[in-house]
Structure 1
Amino acid sequence: MENFEMKECKVVLENCTPKKQIGLSAEIHHEIQESNMLTTRTKQKILTDLDKIRSIEIENYQSVQREKILSEVVSSEISYQWQLTILKDYFMAPLKAQEILTNDEYDTLFCNVRTISNISSELLRQLKKKNCVDAFSKIVPFLKHYSVYAYHYKASLQMLQNISKKNTSFTRLLEMQESRPEVRSKLSALLITPIQRIPRYCLLLEQLIENTPSRHSLYLPLFELHKKVESVALHLNNLVEDQENAQLLLEFQRSLLHSFPSVIRPGRRLIKKGILTVISPIDKKCKRCIVLMSDILMYCKIKKNDVNLPNSLKCSGIYPLNKCKLVKNLSKGAFTINCEDESLTAYHEHASEIDDWVKAIEDRIKQYLTERKTLRKDSSGRRPVVDKRNLGQYQELGVSPGVPRRKRLISDQDDMVGCNNGDCTVYNNTKLIWTRPVKRRCIQDNTEYTTVTLEKTPLMKEQDCLFPLRELAQKNIQLSNTTTSAPNTNDNKVNAENNISNEVFVFGSDAPQSRGFTFSMKSVFNGLKNSVQKLFRFRR
């Protein structure tokens, strides 16, 4: 046999995707522009005619494309309706008839599929009767029913997995129905079709707008319709993200030791979670699980190898983001977070991981500060907490416990509505009602600022800031009146009451008032006794 020499064979693969062919008028236009065979006036006239021909070609092309897109809208809606019909006839109806699932499991698994099917049927009927814009304009308000399905979609998939493992009857029925030639589809694939339908509407409307000239009568209605459908699709995406974030927060809450502290609150989102090496004055140098949320940064001690297991993390510190400042040290692969008098330094062996953390923390701090300018602000008294004793005082995560406000006394005897609950004290035959903390009032309002109202006597009609001095002056006048003659005693008392009761004691006045000061041990002990009784709230 002859020896054959083997040579290397090289195959060069070029891009085989066909390019979009330009029209004949465009080719002629290009050739005329490149050559100088014609005069300027003749060239301008020919080019103008070619532009008109090319615009007509573009309009014809867009018209053909619009017809194709509209036919695709109808055909895709027919296919979608058929999938929903299979879901109802071959899965929902048999499961309901044989009572394999409980009512709660059935409702969780299929949610509002029948409502969505009715909306699709009506849209298909409108598309066959009217144009695309009128049909969608009538159905768009009802597309919000998809949000209910999107919100429960994750729970539906979880329920499907749980039932498939536990319920043998359901598994047997599922295998039998999925193998039928009419079905030829998995139940999980059918359940995801409503989630994909609204984005499909947006894509078809975008293609329809691209192939509609701006001077067309349907251009503006199509543009407005696309905005409405796009808002529905954005709402659905936000619902799915919120559901996923709620699930992440719930899993993180379970991973905390004894589920403390509580991290689940309205509006809070989990941004990033990971394990970094932390250097701090308290924890020294060790591995910690760092969790970045929408308003706080938390780092936890790792109790188990898998941080997603229950009771695998223990909270070590909480930093409110509105008081955090990030200091980058990317050359050493680390960053430092300063929060008032606390600081935390973290690093990772991979520099890219630190870059991601720095970007996530910086973006979240900026966004959070922007949100605080427009939304209702949280307590400005937030401060970092790294002490277990202070951490236990937190009723709400990240909010400083502060100093509890004291209860204040009601000033009027008529306002004793709250005494029925037993939160009142009887002192000197007077009920003192302890109420919830209220807003402080101005001291210039004498009648409202009075904290305790006793039984009113002629000597206590007006209790303002100078009442003790006026009372002392009145007692001195009464003592002086007793030293006068007996016939004039009553007249002097009446005159003293008329002159003093409504006047304010003024230092240095010419009135015949005694401004002396008397001291006795008996008054001192009586004052101490009254103070002790008030302090311990003794009842007589």
Structure 2
Amino acid sequence: LNNLNENNQKQYEEKERNLRFQAIQEILTTEVTYLRQLEILMEYFIQPIIERKLLNHSLLSSLSDNIKTLYNVSGELIKELKQNSENIADAFHKLAPFFKLYSVYAYDYEQILSLLQTKQENDCEFKDFVNKQETRPEVGRKLPSLLITPIQRVPRYKLLLREVLQHTCNKHKEYNLLQVCLVEVEKAARHINTFIEQYEESQKLLKLQKCIVNPINLVKPGRKLIKEGALMRVSRRGNSAYRRYFVLLNDILLYCKGDPQNSLTICCVLPLNKCKIESVLSGGLFRVTCLNETLLLYSEKDDSNLWIAAIQNSIKKYVECRQTLRKDSSSRKPLRHNDLNLFPSENVPIIAGKRKRLDKETEINLDASKIMYLKKDNESDIDIQSDNCLILLKRFKRFKNNDDSKYVKSYEQKINYKIADKENVYFTEHSKVCSPIQSANFKQESSTLKSISEFFTSLGSSLKEFFRF
């Protein structure tokens, strides 16, 4: 039984080694084929077009440089694999970082393809040249199929490496390094896909931009088109509805008049971070609120729920992004008609205007007569006055039972001096009540204590009225 298990194990290991070898050989053979396709593309199409000046465009020169770069990367990979086919992990680990160069080619691919197709439609000589080259026995392929070959190569690397790793024992010396290589290739593939998505999004925005008659530039890095279409807007009175075109981007909602087939006029720009949406009726009516702007909408195609979900998700994602990255649109408000020139647009001349935080409708008018403004300087003066009076009160208590008129007169003079120098209106006005007592000058020594007590009684009442105010 043990011998049988050992034989089965040996057969399984031998089978895995063969499958692994076949996967490595497939990488090598497909890479040689890919390299030959790049040579055909350059030799029979790109170079003749440039030399004969059949098409004069900067994209063509860029395409030639990109193909040469990718040709060098592919040639180096073939060289490494031919030296030692078992050294596949080291070969990919060395060249995987250069696979991101494919993203440059991928970004220009759609523009190149569109340029060549347009040229063939408008230029018969160029069309005849392409058709002649495609029918050559050395070529045997259409030009578009050759152009897309580099786009497909990195995803192909990912599939082939997975197959190699699948048939590699986890105890193999290259197993861990193969896993690292697979991760690097997947990163490169995502990088390329990101560039392609960015190009596609920019093309959508450019197409939309051509329809808009307002001086607004919608094309911006990171901006995406989420949804667009016609919606019915209910009037403010609720007795009629108008068909309007809405464009949902990942940061704003555009409310437009017109048709994208002809032209669109933006009536209002609503920043999503200030928007709220709620369903009004189960029949599909919903409300979009943005500060002082309110739109009551519904769809004739019964897809109101899709619009509600799209706007809600866009608001949620935009707010989440803004929690970690503050953008220039943080203080935006709904813009209508003449205020649309305040919309931040690059490479579009706009009229400079002062930023207003609040509209007239949201301003709050305050009655100045009911507001008391307190200054720190005045408050400190009051505290100094009260402290001085309290000090004098304590000192006069020492002489309450003292008949010495000299001390009483000296402190009475100090009190008059302290009161006369203060700038507080209320304190000076009330201090006039004390003037008869102060003018007496204590002519009769027997009435000294009585005058002092009357003085402090009047002073105490004045202080009470002052602090009560």
Q: Same fold (TM over 0.5)?
A: yes
Report what 1:253 is aligned to: 209
Contact 1:395–1:401 (CA under 8 A) maintained in structure 2: no
User: What are the residue-to-residue correspondences of 1:6-405 with 2, within 5 Å?
Assistant: 56-102=10-56, 104=58, 106-107=60-61, 110=64, 112-130=66-84, 131-257=87-213, 259-281=214-236, 285-302=241-258, 304=259, 307-309=260-262, 312-328=263-279, 331-351=282-302, 353-385=303-335, 387-396=336-345, 402-403=355-356
Cα deviations by residue, 1:428-461 (Å, 9 ceiling, x for unpaired)? xxxxxxxxxxxxxxxxxxxxxxxxxxxxxxxxxx
Distance 2:354 2:261 in 1: 29
Shift in alpha-carbon separation, 1:50–1:174, aligned structure 2, 3 A: same
Does the 8 A contact of 1:296 with 1:321 survive in 2? yes
The amino acid of 2:126's aligned partner reads F
Tell me, in whole angstroms, the C-alpha distance in 2 between the residues paired with 1:264 and 1:97: 36
Which residue identity lines up with residue 345 of structure 1 in the other structure?
Answer: L
Q: Following TM superposition, by how much is the alpha carbon of 1:129 offset from its aligned partner in structure 2, in angstroms? A: 1.1
The answer as to whether partners of 2:73 and 2:95 remain within 8 angstroms in 1 is yes
**1: CA distance between counterparts of 2:295 and 2:173?**
62
Q: 1:280 to 1:220 in 2, by over 3 A?
A: farther
Amino acid at match of 2:233: V
Measured in 2, the distance between the counterparts of 1:366 and 1:178 equals: 51
Give the CA deviation at 1:348.
Answer: 2.4
CA positional deviation for 1:316? 1.6
How far apart are 1:247 and its partner, in Å?
1.3
Deviation for aligned residue 1:315 = 0.6
Q: Which structure has the higher relative contact order (CA within 8 Å, separation 6+)?
A: 2
Q: What residue is the counterpart of 1:433 in the other structure?
A: none
Contact 1:330 1:354 in 2 (8 A): no
Mapping 1:437-456, distance limit 5 Å: none
TM-score by length of 2: 0.69
The alignment-based identity, stated in percent, is 36
Question: Per the alignment, in what secondary structure is the counterpart of residue 99 of structure 1?
Answer: coil
What is the Cα deviation at residue 177 of structure 1?
Answer: 0.7
CA-based RMSD of the aligned residues comes to 3.3
- The 1:49–1:147 alpha-carbon spacing in structure 2 relative to 1, beyond 3 Å, is same
Greater fraction of residues in helix: 2
Contact 1:393–1:401, Cα closer than 8 Å, also in 2:
no
Q: Structure 2 counterpart of 1:125, which letter?
A: K
SS in 1 for 2:220: coil
Q: Distance in 1 between matches of 2:159 and 2:237?
A: 55
> Per the alignment, do residues 512 and 219 of structure 1 end up closer, same or farther by CA in structure 2, a change over 3 Å counting?
same
C-alpha distance in structure 2 between counterparts of 1:61 and 1:335, whole Å: 63
Residues 93-149 of structure 1: per-residue CA shift (max 9 Å, x gap): 322332322253532554511111121111111111132111112212222221211
For residues 62 and 349 of structure 1, do their structure 2 counterparts lie closer, same or farther at Cα, with a shift above 3 Å needed?
Answer: farther
Unaligned 5+ segments in structure 2 are 347-351, 358-376, 379-415, 424-469
Shift of 1:336: 2.5
Secondary structure of the residue aligned to 2:330 is: coil
